[in-house]
Amino acid sequence: MKKLALHWKIIIGMVLGVVYGLIANKLGWVDFTNAWIKPWGVIFVNLLKLIAVPLVFASLIKGVASLSNISKLSRIGGKTIGFYLASTVVAVTIGLFLVNFVQPGNTFSQEKRMELKEAYASKAGAKIDAASNVKEDGPLQFVVDIVPSNFLSAASDNSNMLQVIFFAILFGIAMIMLPNEKTVYVKGFFDGINDIILQIVDIIMMAAPYGVFALLGGLVVDFGGSADLFIALGLYSVTVIIGLLIMILAVYPLVLRIFTKVKYFDFFKAISPAQMLAFSTSSSAATLPVTMERCEEHLGVSEEVSSFVLPLGATINMDGTSLYQAVAAVFIAQAFGYDLDLAAQLTIVLTATLASIGAAAVPGAGMVMLVIVLSAIGIDPEGIALIFAVDRILDMMRTVVNVTGDATVATVIAATEGELRQVSQEELMS
């Protein structure tokens, strides 16, 4: 029998997970699911997170050190950041257009608004606290946060990825500046580490179908009885989803068409396992090892480019998150009866772009940063209570877009640098 491709196995795992969750809900297997199914999902995500820091560190050092000189590094770095910023601004703008056109917030009845606000106000509290800490910081705090004072403490927390990236780039730059004979062994060491970690990714991915089954089964059981809220927030969700689909089906194909020769269908096939993992884990950071592996081995992006562009993208480039923040902010404003003028909409473009850059690549981070967008346009941050019920599912979807955006930019940078290898049909399909 022909071996089933990985993405099919993952799809089957996802579908069975949802079916299991629905059945478990009906039959009241909540405790059983929490005790025996969910932990497998947690273990799977932990495995992915486990290798995130070593992978980012080793691959970035290898990537930077293999750039022959500093000017190549600054060229690729500048291009990467330019593409990331441009794609984020496009995403926010699409979100704003859609939400102003559909106006999902104007459909709420006053009663429903109060009911939702009350029901979720306590949960919103924790997110608001987390974000108000961020708000009180000075304008340069984000730069301060990038520079670690201790490498080990930076590396001990996955949410400090930017600090790890900073140190790895510094390390790589120092290596370029030294004569080759001084660094040849260190280079060989990191090359080896990099290959070993990519092999670990392969091993972990063998468990992916079971991992996504457990993750989705557990999630559906968690959602349990809140189906009516899903319906009440349907129009808002549909607006976000349409925006995300425009990114996936129109913006990225267009960008690939303009800058590369890669066919979108091939691109899609190559990165689909990463997209499915993004959906199941809601975390670009947890998905990063797989995104890198798919880009390098199935799309032909050189390691030099992928190991620089993708870790950076996972932390700072979140097109899906910024689009969602724009829609959510205007939706909440509409629901509370505010009229947003052009200045307020431009503030959303700016703050949603910055907030998505600042959001950690973990589940729910985009919602924490949404509080900042809301405050910037003078709306009570309690408003996030309104969208709480549907946030997890939208988080899953926006993470798919975040990861797809990173892979698109990596492909574009590779193509424009002559670093995109022609892949065989077999590599594409596997």
Residues that bind ligand ASP (CB under 6 A): 282-284, 318, 321, 359, 361-366, 395, 398-399, 402
Cβ distance to ligand ASP smaller for residue 304 or 395:
395
Nearest to ligand ASP of 25, 291 (CB atom): 291
Supply the minimum distance, in Å, between the C-beta of residue 411 and ligand ASP.
Answer: 19
Residue 284 beta carbon to ligand ASP: minimum distance, rounded to whole angstroms: 4
CB-nearer residue toward ligand ASP: 6 or 361: 361
Closest approach, Cβ 285 to ligand ASP, in A, equals 6
Based on CB atoms, which residue is closest to ligand ASP, 240 or 262?
A: 240
Q: At closest approach, how far in Å is the CB of 307 from ligand ASP? A: 19
| Minimal CB distance residue for ligand ASP | 366
Q: Give least dist CB 104 to ligand ASP, A.
A: 19
Q: Taking the chain, what is the end-to-end CA distance rounded to the nearest angstrom?
A: 15
Considering the complex, state which of residue 282 and residue 408 has its C-beta at the smaller distance from ligand ASP. Answer: 282
Residues 6+ apart with CB under 8 A from 398: 240, 244, 318, 320, 321, 323, 324, 366
Taking Cα atoms as reference points, which of 265, 243, 291, 249 lies closest to residue 403?
Answer: 291
291 versus 302: smaller Cβ distance to ligand ASP: 291
Smaller CB distance to ligand ASP: residue 260 or 281?
A: 281
> Closest separation between CB of residue 238 and ligand ASP, Å?
18
CB of 13 vs ligand ASP, minimal distance in Å: 20
Q: How far is the CB of 54 from ligand ASP (least distance, A)?
A: 19
Question: Between residues 54 and 364, which has the closer beta carbon with respect to ligand ASP?
Answer: 364
